[in-house]
Amino acid sequence: MKITKIKFRNWVMAKVETDAGIVGWGEGTVGRKTRAVAGCIDDLAYLILGQDPCRIEHVYNIMYRQYFWRPGLVIMGAMSAIETACWDILAKSLDVPLYKILGGQVRDKVRMYDHPAGGNPDAVYNTDTPEGIVEAVQISLDAGLDAVKVTIVPPTMPVESGKPIRKLERMMRALRDHVGEDVDLMVDFHGRTTPEMGIQYGRMLEQFDLLFMEEPCPPENPLGLQKVSERINIPLATGERLVTTFQFREIVEKQSVAIVQPDLCICGGLWQGKKIASMAETYYIAIAPHNPLGPISTAAALHFAFSTPNFLIQEALRLDAPWRDDVVDDPWLSENGYTYPREKPGLGVNLKDDAAEKYPFEQEKPYTYYHPDGSVADW
């Protein structure tokens, strides 16, 4: 027997140490920006060494405001990792689980969802065919989940006739017929389509009773999202590429979507996440944090979910790396599609000392996509 392949992912974790001996962990993964985020953490450390990690708002403002240039996604990823680690330290210093100082427990369990084949990027199933997507989604159903999100919108030009729409309809028909009426399905467009094509797809997808439709166009144009929302009868979701309350403000005020999806590893951390949730709550908008990331990110998202009233459902991968649960001392696991609160202090998970050495950085394969005419398309 020989090893033929090792599946790999890069996660960026920040370890914040204190003179009291308490260590906090945070995650700031920004896909395929690993070295950039790690470098930003080093830059930010120079600003905050000597600060009290329990003054979280103060530490955040130092990182956000003490450079003239406002941070974008990469720097916010680094900031989010440090900010989450500070919350971990504060909760550990008080000997309580993190959700108890984020507002306290507001629900008894958190509903989970994942992606086809548990998020395994090397799954052998051809998820570009009706048969393949059905087989891959069955892996999630076998794990007890009753909600799955698929990214199966075919390559689409800015404006097209019905060919790609008919292809997606065939796949969704096979999927809905297979899972039945009691499983929630979500379709992620990944911002690959224009508002015009998002509307065309959305009108077809109405028949499949989706929980939500994600990013039918890139999120930087709230009016585009609003246009789609006003013309279809499916709740829209967006937010994984937005940072801070400032970028979410217009989306929320225009009520462009029914669900916001801040990534707690990118948006600025847990406190920015809570502020975004509170802002959304005033417009009756739900929140479902983006999280196809590592075990520290999942732990932070779960504490957020247990303490946030307008929370809807939590994304988490299970099979994206065979060693996912090996790198932390006590991973959060779901039972029949739900995760339950725990009493361990802080996040309740710590990265193992040898994790970084056992699974060092490796260059990830870039994802690229071009339209048939050779022009660059959104991945």
Q: What is the pLDDT of residues 143-191, one digit of tens each?
A: 999 999 999 998 889 999 999 999 999 999 999 999 999 999 999 999 9
Comparing 99-103, 215-219, 302-306, 319-323, the range with the smallest average pLDDT is 319-323
Strand-pair partners of 314: 112
Instruction: Record the tokens describing residue 18, joined without a space.
Output: 């204190």
> Confidence band (pLDDT; 50, 70, 90) for 236?
very high
> Confidence band (pLDDT; 50, 70, 90) for 7?
very low
Q: For the full predicted model, state whether its pTM sits above 0.85.
A: yes
Look at residue 346 and give its three-state secondary structure.
strand
> Most confidently modeled of 213-227, 265-279, 323-337?
265-279
Contact 130, 150 (CB under 8 A): no
Specify whether 190 is catalytic.
yes
Query: What pLDDT is stored for residue 221 in this prediction?
Result: 85
- Beta strands 338-339 and 110-113 are antiparallel
Task: Output the DSSP codes for 341-372.
Answer: ---SSBTS--B-TTHHHHS---PPPPP--B-T
Look at residue 139 and give its three-state secondary structure.
helix
Closest to 187 in 3D by CA, of 234, 155, 146, 231:
234
Contact 350, 23 (CB under 8 A): yes
C-alpha–C-alpha distance, residues 368 and 375, integer Å: 11
Q: How far is CA 202 from CA 30, 146, 153, in A?
A: 29, 22, 11
Every domain of the chain and the residues it spans: 101-348
CATH architecture of 101-348: Alpha-Beta Barrel (3.20)
Comparing 193-202, 226-235, 255-264, 315-324, the range with the smallest average pLDDT is 315-324
pLDDT tens for each residue of 28-59: 999 889 999 999 999 999 999 999 999 999 99
Instruction: Record the tokens describing residue 107, joined without a space.
Output: 């629900």
Specify whether 371 is catalytic.
no
Point out the catalytic residue in the list 58, 178, 190, 371.
190
Sign of the dihedral through C-alpha 192, 324, 78, 260: positive
* H-state helical runs in the chain: 34-48, 56-65, 73-94, 130-142, 163-179, 195-205, 222-231, 244-253, 270-281, 295-306, 355-358
Q: What is the dihedral of CA 145, 276, 221, 186, to 10 degrees?
A: 10
C-alpha–C-alpha distance, residues 32 and 34, integer Å: 6
- Judged by phi (left if over 0) then psi (alpha if -120 to 50, else beta), residue 361 lies in beta
C-alpha–C-alpha distance, residues 204 and 169, integer Å: 7
Point out the catalytic residue in the list 58, 115, 178, 290.
290
Closest to 352 in 3D by CA, of 291, 301, 265, 294:
294
Query: What pLDDT is stored for residue 3 in this prediction?
Result: 29
Residue 241 has pLDDT above 90, yes or no: yes
Burial class (CB in 10 A: 0-12, 13-18, 19+), 350: buried
Mean pLDDT of 252-276: 97
Query: What pLDDT is stored for residue 75 in this prediction?
Result: 95
C-alpha–C-alpha distance, residues 167 and 152, integer Å: 10
pLDDT tens for each residue of 268-317: 999 999 999 999 999 999 999 999 999 999 999 999 999 999 999 999 99
Residue 125 has pLDDT above 70, yes or no: no
Q: How far is CA 92 from CA 107, 120, 303, 369, in A?
A: 22, 33, 14, 45
Residue 111 has pLDDT above 50, yes or no: yes
C-alpha–C-alpha distance, residues 152 and 171, integer Å: 8
C-alpha–C-alpha distance, residues 291 and 84, integer Å: 15
The alpha carbon of 374 is separated from its chain's Cα centroid by a whole number of angstroms, namely: 30
Contact 56, 22 (CB under 8 A): no
Q: What is the mean pLDDT of the chain?
A: 92
Residue 325 has pLDDT above 90, yes or no: no
Residue 2 has pLDDT above 60, yes or no: no
Greater pLDDT, 363 or 310 = 310
C-alpha–C-alpha distance, residues 351 and 356, integer Å: 9
> Confidence band (pLDDT; 50, 70, 90) for 321?
confident
Residue 142 has pLDDT above 50, yes or no: yes
Look at residue 238 and give its three-state secondary structure.
strand
> Confidence band (pLDDT; 50, 70, 90) for 124?
low
What percent of the chain is predicted at pLDDT more than 90? 78
